[in-house]
Amino acid sequence: MTEPETRAATAGWVKVVLALSLALNLAILGMMGGAFLRDGPRERGMPRDLSFGPFNEALSREDRRALRSAFMERAGEFREGRAAAQEEFRALLSALRAEPFDAAALKAALGAIEKRNADRLAIGRELIEGRIFALSPEERLAFADRLDAALTRGRR
């Protein structure tokens, strides 16, 4: 009799994880769409999902292109990353569909996805830092003003 209760608790936990994953995916999709609408299509073969969030609006078009290029150099071949991400989500789907449910497999799949995202965020942070460190005091203040304006627009 306790087994159904355990399954219900596990099912609730899985629903929360799936909701968080969906929210993250929708946020990434929104950034991709926003970048495409603002900057237009990229050259053939260039990824369209690279965005620096609210920093995008504070950066010049040239800075965004330079940062994307530097990101691609640091992140490696995009298609390899895409294939790895697809494999990670296949592992997640397998873990979700497994009977009996294997919580360790689900945690491993989510951990792999989290690590890939964390690695990409770390590269982006380092690139943004480098760009900001290179700014003069006047450029840094102007950047701060543009970033503040972008963040203010985002709150409306």
The C-alpha atoms of residue 56 and residue 16 are separated, in whole angstroms, by: 30
Residue with tokens 């690139």: 127
pLDDT, residue 42, reads 45
Q: How many CB atoms lie within 10 A of CB 76?
A: 11
Dihedral sign for Cα atoms in the order 33, 39, 45, 49? negative
Q: Which of 116, 90, 1 is nearest to 98 (CA)?
A: 90
Count how many domains the chain has. 1
Three-state SS at 128: helix
Give the pLDDT confidence of 52-63 residue by residue, as tens digits.
677 777 887 888
CB 116 within 8 A of CB 84: yes
pLDDT, residue 35, reads 59
Q: How many CB atoms lie within 10 A of CB 97?
A: 8
Tell me the Cα Rg of the chain: 20
Give the pLDDT confidence of 65-97 residue by residue, as tens digits.
888 888 777 766 555 677 888 899 999 999 999
Kindly report the CATH number assigned to the domain that includes residue 112: 1.20.120.1490
Domain encompassing residue 55: 2-155
Measured in whole angstroms, how far is the alpha carbon of residue 141 from the centre of its chain? 27
pTM for the complete prediction? 0.52
- CA angle, corner 58, sides to 77 and 128, nearest 5? 45
